Every structure is written in structure tokens, then in C-alpha cells.
């Protein structure tokens, strides 16, 4: 993803089907890189459907989040 700012703040809006409480439906991250890693490594696969990240007023979902994680510019160590 060209020009994506992994250092920008990010917000995760989890799918309502997965997140049964308001606290679980929203999560804020200091960096987009941390948010991307959380979605791919910690969020159950079923919960990814309907969930999205918002970074610099842009939304990123599903395959796009995976592409950010797989990007050579991704600054954090990957678990898988």
C-alpha cells in the first residue's frame, strides 16, 4: 500500500456480531501498525467480517488489512 502511514493513530470498529458489548465494538490504537497486527494476529477470523480500521479518515477492511500486514513496509515483527 503506497503512502500508508503505519505510524498514524487508528481505530478498530469490530463487527457487531462478534462484539457483544459497546466496549468490544471499538478500540483505539497508538499506531496503525499495532491495529493491523491486532486484527490479523489476535482477532478471530470470523470477527473480521464486518470489522474495519479507520486511519486518517480512511476505512480499511478485510483483504486490504491483510495486504497492509503483508506489505514489505509493515514495521512490526510478524507472528506468522
* pLDDT class of 16 with cuts at 50, 70, 90: low
| pLDDT at site 17 | 65
Nearest 5°: CA angle at 16, between 9 and 33? 25
- Across the chain, how many H-helices and E-strands are there? 4, 4
**Mean pLDDT for the chain?**
87
* pLDDT class of 1 with cuts at 50, 70, 90: low
Residues 6 or more apart whose CB falls under 8 angstroms from that of 15 comprise 47, 48, 49, 50, 51
Amino acid at each position: 500500500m503506497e503512502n500508508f502511514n503505519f505510524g498514524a493513530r487508528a481505530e478498530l470498529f469490530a463487527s457487531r456480531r462478534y462484539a457483544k458489548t459497546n466496549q468490544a465494538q471499538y478500540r483505539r490504537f497508538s499506531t496503525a501498525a499495532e491495529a493491523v497486527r491486532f486484527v490479523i494476529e489476535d482477532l478471530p477470523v470470523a470477527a473480521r467480517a464486518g470489522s474495519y480500521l479507520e486511519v486518517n479518515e480512511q476505512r480499511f477492511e478485510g483483504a486490504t488489512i491483510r495486504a497492509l500486514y503483508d506489505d514489505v513496509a509493515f514495521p512490526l515483527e510478524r507472528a506468522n
